[in-house]
């Protein structure tokens, strides 16, 4: 286990634990910690010493999730990328997809076992909890967005 002292690499490690591919996490961290406004794929590959293929895959993935965006770069043939405004809220919202899946899984389980069996009761507790989150989480994030927009 390489003990990384570089803050960017350390963050990448955490993001990787959280489910991102390792290289994808490193690319995101690089974009977060760079002193430039944007980076090109080539710059990222060089900075991290990884193959252009890996960078390409990572950028595709991050763009898909909505964490970064392609920036039109006048006068250059290269694609420029940067982290999007509100990326972290987006990341959180995506993770909330899990909440939906959990709730639905519980619901289907209840449908399959009936509500009055031991399994049904356990599943109902699960369903109620995720249903609660499903109702409350969007509001929580919305409040963040509103607060931030207001105070800027």
Partner DNA sequence: TTGCATCTTCAGAAATCTCTGAAGGTTCGA
Partner DNA sequence: TCGAACCTTCAGAGATTTCTGAAGATGCAA
**Which residues of the chain form contacts with DNA (CB under 7 A)?**
21-24, 40-42, 49-57, 59-60, 75, 77-79
Q: Give the residue with the Cβ less far from a second copy, 52 or 73.
A: 73
Which residue, 41, 43, 40, 48, is CA-closest to 22? 48
Distance CA 12, CA 51 (A): 17
| Residues forming beta bridges with residue 82, ordered by sequence position | 69
- Altogether, the residues listed in the chain come to a count of 152
Among 41, 50, 93, 109, binds a second copy (CB under 8 A): 109
Q: What single-letter DSSP state applies at residue 96?
A: T
113 forms part of the interface with a second copy (CB under 8 A): yes
Among 52, 73, 88, 142, binds a second copy (CB under 8 A): 88
Among 3, 118, 149, 150, binds a second copy (CB under 8 A): 118
| Residues forming beta bridges with residue 80, ordered by sequence position | 40, 71
45 forms part of the interface with a second copy (CB under 8 A): no
Which residue, 60, 55, 138, is CA-closest to 99? 138
CB of 14 to DNA, least distance (A): 14
From 43-51, 59-67, 69-77, 120-128, span contacting a second copy (CB under 8 A): 120-128
- Asked whether the beta carbons of 86 and 110 are under 8 A apart, the reply is no
Q: Give the residue with the Cβ less far from DNA, 48 or 110.
A: 48
């Amino acid at each position: 286990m390489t003990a990384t002292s570089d803050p960017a690499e350390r963050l990448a490690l955490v993001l990787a634990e959280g489910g991102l591919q390792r290289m994808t996490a490193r690319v995101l961290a690089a974009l977060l910690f760079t002193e430039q406004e944007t980076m090109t794929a080539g710059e990222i590959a060089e900075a991290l010493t990884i193959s252009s293929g890996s960078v390409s895959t990572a950028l595709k993935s991050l763009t898909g999730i909505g964490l970064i965006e392609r920036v039109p770069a006048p006068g250059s043939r290269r694609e420029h990328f940067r982290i999007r405004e509100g990326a972290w809220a987006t990341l959180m919202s995506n993770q909330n997809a899990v909440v939906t899946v959990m709730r639905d899984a519980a619901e289907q389980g209840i449908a399959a076992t009936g509500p009055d069996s031991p399994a049904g009761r356990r599943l109902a507790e699960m369903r109620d909890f995720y249903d609660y989150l499903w109702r409350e989480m969007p509001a929580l994030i919305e409040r963040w967005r509103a607060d931030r927009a207001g105070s800027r």
